[in-house]
Structure 1
């Protein structure tokens, strides 16, 4: 299969190791990965701020870069969901529809498309899994606790394959971290309190690392951890699944 790697702008600028880990992991699993070099922001920040009508340029550029691939894989739930639900183009709507059907968040691609059942990975630490709202309630990569339905978690399913990793239980598995894109700007105090509560849940249960399929959430939580001078670190799920250590 021919797969295009979609790297969100904030991942490129702040967490490039997560993008590199995604590339390496996919290649280890036998995937032919391409990186369209002219890709840039998907337009989500503008759309979240109420300016979706100004995202036409971003949409058309995205289509030009990603049309023609079997799949498009992204290490970010929020950006994946934005493309999946909001990619439109008056000039190229047929292509936009085709791309919306082919874009996948990394863990859903590994579970649903590649059907990975074994990983050569080792990460001997206690890890807390943060379920982002976009991944949970948008992409449905995990089950929402408010539903009376069988539980599942695609990120947890993959993390369970990692040697030495202990996935710690949390008191509230799917609370929002408070980031919410522009929410953390316009509701700073509420956002900060939600993030602190989320961090406290992980710390109370002994997590050494907090992981997620959404680096935007991890960026928010990392800011809180740094201000608390905590030893707990954040790490994208791809970095764990691609990690092998003899420690």
Structure 2
């Protein structure tokens, strides 16, 4: 008798992971396959979030339709980013609600989209990760994941099973890092002031490692820490859970 197969998962890699940190994508694949999933990465485009946040609904719809079609064959769509997962799960159904050719498809699509840690904990019921990371870490709660999807306890539950890992919360860990996608471009001075406070809180925690679940936030915080001369190592939680911390930490130019 053949063993039952796990769910067929389409991994939505995200633009930032694809372009700047592919190791997060590989870590997500490992975690999902270790949990019994069949994982595929179909051809994909930007989720349309920058256009959507800038008010260009027409372009956002144009980008959303092929994403929905590409992931139609899969049982679930898993995303290693709360912001992109929020766009797919929450905004696609509303964005295409008046589109007779995609309204129903968008609703069905949104219902099967999960952020990575939420999928592992809520759907696959993963309670333990066989990994070791003997370091003190602090955790930043990215805005979209926290506020749109309720992502908070899930990554902490998984990290709590990692041997040697000591999680200490920084002050105001749920406060925005100032990135916000196009917000950081439109309101650079405000964004810089917000991330400065986040960097100070990370340093005050005393943890040599900062983790989060959204690469946009991680790059923003890493950039500010680098410009402050900080030695804090910045990583996506999936890299720690998958035991894939051999790659250099996320950093940005100090100029």
Normalized against structure 2, the TM-score is what?
0.88
Map of 2:207 onto structure 1:
207
Offset at residue 244 of structure 1 (A): 6.9
Unpaired segments of 5 or more residues in structure 2?
Answer: 1-6, 246-255
Which residue of structure 1 aligns with residue 57 of structure 2? 52
The Cα of 1:30 is off from its aligned counterpart by 1.3
Preserved contact between residue 213 and residue 236 of structure 2 (Cα < 8 Å)? yes
Residue of structure 1 in register with 2:128 after alignment: 118
Contact 1:133 1:176 in 2 (8 A): yes
Gaps of 5+ in 1: 143-152
Whether contact under 8 Å (1:123, 1:244) holds in the other structure is no
Aligned length: 234
- Cα distance in 1 for partners of 2:147, 2:104 equals 27
Cα RMSD over matched residues? 1.3
> For 1:73-96, what per-residue CA distance to the aligned partner results, in whole angstroms no more than 9, with x for missing partners?
000000000011221442222211
The equivalent residue for 1:108 is 118
Residue of structure 2 equivalent to 1:183 = 183
Match of 1:137 in 2: 147
1:234 CA drift (Å): 1.0
* Contact 1:121–1:244 (8 Å) recurs in 2: no
Q: CA deviation at 1:57?
A: 2.0
Specify the alignment match of 2:3 in structure 1: none
Moved segments of 4+, more than 4 Å: none
- Match of 1:194, SS state, is helix
Instruction: Give the deviation of 1:173 after TM superposition.
Output: 2.4
2:59 pairs with 1:43: no
Q: Deviations over 1:199-232 (max 9, x none)?
A: 1111111111111111111111011112122211
Q: Does the CA-based 8 Å contact 2:85-2:113 persist in structure 1?
A: yes
What corresponds to 2:20 in structure 1? 14
Q: Which has the higher contact order (CA 8 A, sep 6+)?
A: 1
Matched residue SS, 2:73: coil
User: Residues 47, 172 of structure 1: CA spacing in aligned structure 2 closer, same or farther, 3 A cutoff?
Assistant: same
Question: Does structure 1 conserve the Cα–Cα contact (< 8 Å) formed by 2:27 and 2:244?
Answer: no
